[in-house]
Structure 1
């Protein structure tokens, strides 16, 4: 420990001897690391797997179950109520959930101003499929229509001021609903269960309502809906269930390759049956897309973030090169000191230890500077791309990654000076 303090003291004297080149080296390296880390944070979170244990078991089935003929069309991302019922007729999946999102207004009583909320209209398996945590209460026991809803934790605190509110009633669009559950803190990042039209960038919904109730009360999708016949969107309770109003996303859980193959065969058989019945004249275009591939399938990957990540990586490499050049200049100015220590008996391992302490000290200053610069860049990106705000948070894992990256870059910056100091010709160094 005493030797370590001695090395730190020597490093500090070296910094005080030439503070400006040292500060410039730290600043350049901090700038490169901070800018890169802020962009890498967005890229990492947008491409992370929110359900690593299930991402290869949850699938998004799509079929060309439409009443027109198209030889080169892709299967639409949303299905009608009747088509979902046909897909749900199979007992192959271990869980299944149809869903869509809608808008609504929530308040505690008629005298209170209404609060705009987003509503996830879905079925009971949604919560188990996507590992949605429950803080209080329970979910619906079946998929029947019920005047019962679940609240997010933030919505419960905002509207009612607390989370233990099971059994209370709220007005959703002036209809009275009973609260049966409150979710714990939960935000799937990215929100892959709603990936179409880049909805995966949006926060989780405020309210969760049974699918049948959503149709009974004519909640139209706020994301994507279309119709292929004479249907009235305002009459989901009737036309929505019987006509070709497409607005439902459908997810199934297939735990084994055998289940996945069996469900693909089921979808193929369903197309055959539909064609035999004279419906849906288009060629088969079935898709069974895995959860982790859903954003790529819809072409919703953020090209801006990817491009910025590449550019900032190049900027980091340039910063490392420039910082290394400044570090070499510092070594040249201190070369006589290193040579004298070697002449007085310091071996190469002792010189290497001194340079490692120098690197550790520089890494500490650089890490602090990089964190400040990364924070500022993240705030700037949040103002430029508000939709990406959810992906700007840091956790322990990301901070450790920044620390490791800082150590690695600091090592690269001091590598060549370290080799020159330890393995250069002593006679030549003393003459210089």
Structure 2
């Protein structure tokens, strides 16, 4: 340990002799790492698994095409009647239909209304997507209830506290009782609603039973489509039997056997509907896993991928420039290295000296990269506010940055290290 501390002191003395080249090397590395890390932050968050260990068990079934077409995919949103047919199976461990809508909430009629986003869904939603409850419980069944569940931020906004179970609020001037409040929760990316890049948005404010949503004629705010003369203003009646599509539907299939059985169930259902004349297109059932839903819908944000690739190339250019500066530093200190070898320093000792240089450069470039990375994330949040949810840093990202800084610092000093350790001693002393 004392020997390594000595190597660190020698490295600091070397820096003092030529501070400008060293500062330029650190600056170039910091810029390359910081810019790359800022973009890698968004790329990592957008492509992360929001439910590790469970996402491979959640699937989005699509079937029962209500129009005539050749080699086409079934609609990415389902009608109420089709969801009821899919839900008739007892194969899934859990299943939930859902959509989102807009509304206004307030505590009394005298208060100004607060705009809210409503997730209209079924009770299994909370179990399937590991939604944590801080207070209360979910609905006892999938029937209609004038009961709502609030997100924690919405409870604080309306009441100033979270312990509000049993109290009431006005949702679009209809009275609802609060039966639950969520704990801190933000699913990123929000893959349960990947239709139309909605997975990039924040979680909803209020959760309402699906049957109540239809009873009260809440239309989807993101995507709805009708394939007959169904009146979308009559969800409670026509919306339940017509070809009005607005529902997303998820099932939990825990085993490969369940997945195979459910695919067979979808095939049988499509064949029955085809025989009844309600499925004119060729059968093309889809059972898409959660982690593949964004790619399947074609809503993957290519701008983040492009930025990540460009900044990776920029980092490579910075490495070449920093390596060139490090080589110049080596040439200016070449006689010192040669003298150490002449006095008996082994190649392993010279490598330890270089390792001390690498650690110092890692510390300095890491501090610079953190500052530049934070500035880059803030700039991207300003330019792309829809991606601001994905700008958080966690332990994995910080660890990756530390490893990247160490690796880049090592690569920058690798060639000088090899020259110092394995070059011709006579030639080095002559130079």
Aligned residues of 1:65 and 1:83 also touching (Cα < 8 A): no
What is the distance in 2 between the residues matched to 1:195 and 1:422? 55
> Any stretches of 5+ residues in structure 1 without a counterpart?
none
Give the equivalent residue in structure 1 for 2:399. Answer: 400
Q: C-alpha offsets along residues 177-228 of structure 1, whole Å, 9 cap, x if unaligned? A: 1111111111111111111111110111111100001011111000100112
Instruction: Give the deviation of 1:52 after TM superposition.
Output: 2.2
> For residues 222-255 of structure 1, what are the alpha-carbon distances to aligned partners after superposition, in whole Å with 9 as ceiling and x for unaligned?
0100112222212111111121111011111111
In the TM superposition, 1:170-185 aligns within 5 A as 170-185=169-184
* Whole-Å separation in 2 of the counterparts to 1:9 and 1:363: 16
Provide the C-alpha distance between the structure 2 equivalents of 1:277 and 1:326, rounded to a whole number of angstroms: 76
> Structure 1 CA distance, aligned partners of 2:128 and 2:163?
24
In structure 2, the residue matched to 1:97 is 96
Equivalence for 1:305:
304
Report what 1:421 is aligned to: 420
2:315 aligned partner: 316
Report the Cα distance in structure 2 between the residues aligned to 1:275 and 1:299, rounded to whole angstroms: 28
Query: What is aligned with 1:372?
Result: 371
Separation in 1 of the partners of 2:344 and 2:193?
68
2:29–2:318 CA contact under 8 A, matched in 1: yes
Q: Secondary structure at the match of 2:96?
A: strand
Between 132-141 and 70-79, report the one with greater CA deviation: 70-79
**How do 1:282-293 and structure 2 match up within 5 A?**
282-293=281-292
Please tell me whether residue 6 in structure 1 is matched to residue 1 in structure 2: no
Q: Which residue of 1 aligns with 2:20?
A: 20
CA distance in 1, matches of 2:68, 2:383: 43
Question: In the alignment, which residue of structure 1 is the partner of 2:327?
Answer: 328
Measure, in 2, the Cα distance between the counterparts of 1:147 and 1:129.
23
Instruction: Tell me by how many angstroms 1:71 deviates.
Output: 2.1
- Deviation of 1:111 after TM superposition, in Å, equals 1.8
* Paired residue total: 431
Matches of 2:88 and 2:59 in 1, distance apart?
Answer: 16
Structure 1: distance between partners of 2:157 and 2:14: 56
| Number of the residue aligned with 2:60 | 60
SS, match of residue 75 in structure 1: coil
Contact residue 64 and residue 273 of structure 2 kept, 8 A: no
User: Gaps spanning 5+ residues in structure 2: where?
Assistant: none
Q: Deviations over 1:39-96 (max 9, x none)?
A: 1111111111111211221111111341x32223220011111111111111111111
| TM value normalised by structure 2 | 0.98
| Matched position secondary structure for 1:165 | coil
Higher deviation after alignment, 217-226 or 419-428: 419-428
Q: How does 1:135-214 map to 2 (within 5 A)?
A: 135-214=134-213
Deviation at 1:345, TM superposition (A): 2.5
User: What is the DSSP-based 3-state SS (H/G/I as helix, E as strand, rest coil) of the residue aligned with 2:42?
Assistant: helix
Q: Give per-residue Cα distances to partners, 1:379-425, cap 9 Å, x unaligned.
A: 11111111111111101110000000100010000011111112212
Q: What is the CA-CA distance between 1:304 and the residue it aligns to? A: 0.9
Residues 216 and 236 of structure 1 are in contact (CA less than 8 Å); yes or no, is this contact kept in structure 2? yes
Structure 1 residue 2, shift from structure 2 partner: 2.9
Q: 2: distance between equivalents of 1:4 and 1:54? A: 47
1:45 and 2:57 equivalent? no
Structure 2 residue matching 1:56: 3-state secondary structure: helix
- Alignment partners' CA distance in 2, 1:332 and 1:115: 68
Distance 1:215 1:15 in 2: 71
Question: What is the TM-score when the length of structure 1 is the normalising length?
Answer: 0.98
C-alpha distance in structure 2 between counterparts of 1:55 and 1:213, whole Å? 28
